[in-house]
Structure 1
Amino acid sequence: MFVERKWEGKEQDALLHLMTNHAAYRQHLGMVSQRYFNAYPVGGSEMGWKSGDLVVHFAGCWVQKKCQVQWEDFWSRRIIA
C-alpha cells in the first residue's frame, strides 16, 4: 500500500530516507563534498566552485538579476580538452 509522505526537502528527504533505512541502497553509496556536484559561484572552500568541480549552481541569481552575468563568467572559464 502506498503511503504519501509530507517531505519538505522532496528528493533530498527521499534520498536521506533510502540511505538511513535501507542497507541495500547504503551499500552502493559514497559521500563526497557537496562542492563536487553542487558548488556555488562563491562560498569558501566547502561550497564555492573550484576548477575541476562538475557543476556550479547559480542559486538565487534571479533575485539580483545576475544569472546571465554569472553564466557568461563561468562559461568563459571552461576548459576544452
Structure 2
Amino acid sequence: MKKVAVIGCGSYMDSGDGCPGEWRCLKAASLGDGNFEEPSQVVAFVKCECPGRALATNVKMAMKLSEIKPDAIYLSSC
C-alpha cells in the first residue's frame, strides 16, 4: 500500500471550516479512486498557510523532522 501525504490549501483552512473536499480526498485515497492509482494510506495531513509560497520547504522540513517518508504528496483544495 502506497503511503501518501495530503496538503490542504485554501481560505477555508484558514477559517477553520471543514471542507467536503478533504473528506472526499481521504476517502479516495483509502479506496484508490480519483487521482489515486491504488488504495493508499494517508500518513500525514498538512495545513497550508496562504499564500503557499513556502509550502515545499515547509513540507520537506516537517517530513525530515518527523521522519515521515510518503511515496507521494497530493494537494487538496476547494
Tell me if both proteins adopt one fold, taking TM over 0.5 as the criterion: no
TM-score range for the pair, normalised by the shorter chain length: under 0.3
TM-score of the pair, normalised by structure 2: 0.22
- Decide which structure has greater strand share: 2
